[in-house]
Chain A
Amino acid sequence: MRPHDLSRRELLALATPGLFVFFPLEPLEAFQEPARLPGRQAGPTDFNAWLRIGENGRVTCFAGKVELGQGPTTALAQLLAEELDVAYDAVDMVLGDTDLCPYDMGTFGSMGIRLTGPLIRAAAAEARAVLVQMAAERLAAPAGRLQVKAGVVTDPSSAGKRVTYAELVQGKRIERHIEKVPLKPPAAFTVVGRPAVRKDARDKVTGKGKYAGDFAFPGMLHARILRPPAHGAALQEVDTTAAEKAGARVVRDGGLLAILHERRDLADRALGLVKARFTPPPPGPDDKTIFDHLLKTAPEPRLVGESGSLTEGAKLAHEVVEQTYLNSYVAHAPMETHSATAVIENGKATVWASTQAPFGVKQQVAQALGFTPPNVRIVAPYVGGGFGGKSGGQQAVEAARLAAATGQPVQVVWDRTEEFFFDTFRPAAVVKIRAGLTSAGRIAFWDYQVYGAGDREAHTFYDIPHRRTVSAGNWMGGNPPGMHPFGVGPWRAPSVNTNTFARESQMDILAAKAGVDPLEFRLAHLSDRRMRRVLEAAAKQFGWVPGKPAGKPPSGRGVGVACGIYSGTYVATMAEVVVPSTGRVQVKRVVTAQDQGLTVNPDGSRQQMEGSITMGLGQALGEEVRFRNGEVLDRNFDSYQVPRFSWVPRIETILIDNPDTPATGCGEPPIITVAAVIANAIYDAANIRLLQLPMTPARILEARKRG
C-alpha cells in the first residue's frame, strides 16, 4: 500500500511513538492562506436577520463583519441607531459569528461601511417604518404625525400618547414588511457623523476582551505543528521519541504532524525535542535577485488602460524620463499571530478563530472535517489585527483537524516564526515608467508597466493625452507557478501602494525636470475636482509654499507631496523629513487630506487615518522580508522593522465634508501615499532619488554616494 492510499483514520492509527519515515500527503502550500476566497452571496433582505429588539428595549445588531480594530462595531452601531431612532448606547453588536450573523464575505478592502453600512441602514429604516405603523395602530393616530426618539414613539399632538419599541415588539420577531423605505437625509443625522465612544473600548483597556487564543476548555490541548525550514523543503524522516518522553502527544493527520500538550509552553519545549530531516529546498530567488526573477517569470502583460497613442506622444516629447521602481515583499505582522480554538461536541465543530472571513473559514473547516456546513460554527472574536493577512483561516483548519483527531478541544496559536513563514506577503514588484515632457513642461505621454503587484489604480488619473498601462502578475493569485516564491495576498490597500509609490515618484521627477513646484505641476495635470480639493486642503493645512528660486525643486527644505485614489477615496499627503548623515530618515510631520464621501464616525476615521499613515512608515523606511531559497530570514521583530514610537511624526488629518457621496472607506487609503511622499521629501531635502522600497539607511547612504 502506498502511503497516500491511507485514509486519515489509518494514518492516525500509525501514530505510534518513535522513528518513522514521513511522506507528506499535502503540498506545503496547503498551510498557506488561500489567495482567493469563495464568491459573494447577497445579504438577507429580511431585516430580522440584522436586528432584534429585546423586551428590555435593547437592540441587538448582527453583522458578519469582524472587529479587527478598525471599529465596525462602533460605526455599524451608529448607522443602526441613526436609522432606527434608538440611542447608540442601547445597541449591542454581535459580529463575526456564523451561526448568528447574516453571511458576509469578509472584513477587508475598506468595505465594512461601504457595503454593509447600506444594508444595515436599509434594514433599520424598514424596521423603523414598520414600528411606526404598528404604533399608529396602537395609538390610533396617523403614522405621519408620530415622532420617534430613543426607541419611544410619541404623538406630539396628544400629550401622554406614547409607546416604546419594546412594548410594540415584546421580544418577538417582526412579521410585517414595508417595501422601499427611504433613508434619512444626511442633514437629519444626529448620531452618524459624530464621535462615539467605541463599543470595544472597555473590553480592550481592561484586558477582558477575548481573542481566539484566550478561550480555554477542560481537557484542551495546545498544538505545535512541525514546519519545514523553508518553502519547498519536504519532510523525510522524523523522530518524536524525546517529545513523547517529555509528556507530549504526537498526532499525524495527513500532512500535519502535531505535538500536543496541556500547556502551550510545554508543547513548545516538546516540539524543540523533535528531530526531523528535510530535503533541501530547490534553489530559488533571494531578496536581491527577485526583481529579475519577476520580470523573467511574469505572464504576458495585460492592457489595463489606454488613451491616445504612445507613438504620437513620443513625437511631442522634448525630454523622456525612464525609471524602474522596486518594492520588496512585506509582511502583515499583526501583533496577534494566527490563533484558533476548536471544540467538537455532538457532531458539531465550533472554532473561535482570528480571521477576517469567518464564513469562508466555515467552508474550509467543513471541507477538512467532512462535516456539512450547518455542523460548523466559526466565531471571530476580537481579532488582533489583520491588514489582509487573516483573509483565510488555515490555523482554524489545523485546530479543527486536531480536535477531531484527539477528541479533545485543541488550540493552535502560531508563533512569530510561523507567522512570518506562512504569511501571504504584499508582493515584491517592479514598475517601469517611461514618460515624456513637452518643451512647455506638460506631460506628453506616459507608458506604465507593473510586474507582480496588480493593476489597481495603475492607470493614471492625471490629464495626459497619450498613455498606456499594462500589468503582469497579481497579488490575487493566478500567477505562473514560482513567479512569487511565497504566498502573496492582500496587504492594506493591495497593489495601490506599489502603483502610487511609482506614479508619484515619477511625477516628482518630471516636475523637477520641468523646473516646476511639484504641487503646481500636479495641479496643472488635474481636472478631477475631488483630487484638486484634497490637494488644496492638504496644502492649506501644511502651509505649502513653492521653494526658492521660483519653485525649482529640490528646495532643500525636505518637503514632499503625493496623492492617490483607493476604492473611490481621494487622498493627498504632504510631509516634512530630515535626512541625517546616518541615513536614518526621520519624518517630522505628515498632513493627509481625505475625501471618503460620507463620514460615519469622524474620530474613528481619523484614528484609522493615523494608523494607516503610521503603518505606511514601515514599508517606506524599514519593512522588507529577506529570504533565500524558500527560507524566510526575517522571523521576528529584531530584524523585521515595523514602525515604533520614535518613528512617528506629528500627524494631522483632514476629512473633506462630502456627506452626499456614499461612504467609500477610510482605513486603507491614507497608506497609499506614504512611501511616495517620503521619497519625494527625501529628494527635496538631500537631492537624492530613492527608487526602491524600503528606503533603509543603507540605501540612503548608497544613494548619497552615487550623488
Chain B
Amino acid sequence: MERTIQFTLNGQPARVTVDDGRMLLWVLRQDLGLTGTKFGCGEGLCGACTVMVGKEAVRSCSTPVKDVAGKQVLTIEGLEREGKLHPIQQAFLKHHAFQCGYCTPGMILSAYALLLKTPRPAPAEILRHMDDNLCRCGAHVRIVEAIQEAAGVLKGGV
C-alpha cells in the first residue's frame, strides 16, 4: 500500500511516500540515495545490507519499510561525525579490516550492534555475533581484531 512513512535516518527526520511493503534496503539506496548499504543476497543470508533500527542490527533487504515507521535508522553514512570517523570505522581503517570493502558497511553496523549490547565481547562472542555476516575476501581475522580494538577505545560508549 502506498503511504507516507516517517522515521529518523542518521539523526535527521526522513519521509518517504512509497509502497510500504517495499524493503528498506531499496528505499535507502534508491529513494533516499544512500548507497553505502549493500545488496548481497536479498534473502537475509549475507549481512551486506545490515543497518541499525533502534538498538538492533537488521537485514534491510528483508525489513519492510513500514516496520521502521517512527523508529531510528542508522546506516554507514550516519556514523561519521563532523568529518571524524566513528571509532569502529577508525579501527577497521587502522587494521585494514577489508579488502574489496563490499561487506564492510554491514560488518561495521553489525559490530556496532554488538558493542552496544556487549561493550567488552570475548573473542568467541564476536565470532558468534558476526557469523552470519559473510566476507568472501577473507578479511575475518582483521575484522575481529578491529572490533576488539574498537571495544577498547569505546569502553561501552558506542
Q: Report if A and B associate in a common complex.
A: yes
Say yes or no for B120: interface residue by CB 8 A criterion. Answer: no
Interface residues of A in 249-298 (CB under 8 A from B): 263-266
Chain A residues, CB < 8 A from B100 = 67-69, 334-336, 382-385
CA distance A610 to B76 in the complex (A): 26
Q: Which interface residue of A202, A210, A607 has the most chain B CB atoms within 10 A?
A: A607
CB-CB under 8 A for A643 and B99, given A205-B104, A207-B75, A216-B33 = no
A213's partner among B33, B39, B80 (CB-CB below 8 A) is: B39
* B43:A335 contact, CB within 8 angstroms: no
CA distance A638 to B30 in the complex (A): 27
Say yes or no for A58: interface residue by CB 8 A criterion. Answer: no
Number of A-B contacts (CB under 8 A): 170
Say yes or no for B155: interface residue by CB 8 A criterion. Answer: no
Say yes or no for B58: interface residue by CB 8 A criterion. Answer: no
Say yes or no for B119: interface residue by CB 8 A criterion. Answer: no
* A610:B142 contact, CB within 8 angstroms: yes
Q: Identify the closest chain A residue to B41 (Cβ).
A: A416
Interface residues of B in 1-54 (CB under 8 A from A): 19, 22-23, 25-26, 29-31, 33, 35-43, 45-46, 48
Chain B residues, CB < 8 A from A383 = 100
Q: Please tell me the size bucket of the interface on B.
A: 35 or more
Q: Identify the closest chain A residue to B77 (Cβ).
A: A207
CA distance A336 to B22 in the complex (A): 21
Q: Identify the closest chain B residue to A417 (Cβ).
A: B42
CB-CB under 8 A for A206 and B138, given A335-B46, A335-B102 = no
Say yes or no for B108: interface residue by CB 8 A criterion. Answer: yes
Chain A proximity of B67: nearest CB distance (Å): 15
Say yes or no for B93: interface residue by CB 8 A criterion. Answer: yes
Q: Identify the closest chain A residue to B18 (Cβ).
A: A263
A636's partner among B41, B103, B138, B142 (CB-CB below 8 A) is: B41
Chain A proximity of B48: nearest CB distance (Å): 6
Chain A residues, CB < 8 A from B93 = 197, 201-202, 205
Interface residues of B in 106-158 (CB under 8 A from A): 108, 126-128, 130-144
* B101:A644 contact, CB within 8 angstroms: no
Say yes or no for A211: interface residue by CB 8 A criterion. Answer: yes
CA distance A48 to B128 in the complex (A): 51
CA distance A203 to B26 in the complex (A): 21
Given A202-B85, A335-B48: 10 more A-B contacts, CB < 8 Å: A203-B101, A206-B76, A207-B105, A211-B102, A264-B26, A610-B138, A610-B142, A611-B99, A637-B41, A638-B43
Q: Please list 28 pairs of residues, one from A and one from B, whose beta carbons are closer than 8 Å in the complex, sorted by A's number.
A: A202-B85, A204-B98, A205-B108, A207-B77, A210-B35, A211-B38, A213-B35, A263-B26, A264-B29, A265-B25, A265-B26, A266-B22, A334-B136, A384-B100, A385-B136, A385-B137, A415-B42, A416-B42, A607-B142, A608-B99, A610-B138, A637-B45, A638-B43, A643-B140, A645-B127, A645-B130, A645-B133, A645-B144
- Enumerate chain B interface residues (CB-CB to A < 8 A): 19, 22-23, 25-26, 29-31, 33, 35-43, 45-46, 48, 75-77, 79-80, 85, 89-90, 92-93, 96, 98-105, 108, 126-128, 130-144
- Enumerate chain A interface residues (CB-CB to B < 8 A): 67-71, 197-198, 200-211, 213-214, 216, 263-266, 333-337, 382-385, 387, 413, 415-416, 603-604, 607-608, 610-615, 636-638, 642-646, 648, 651
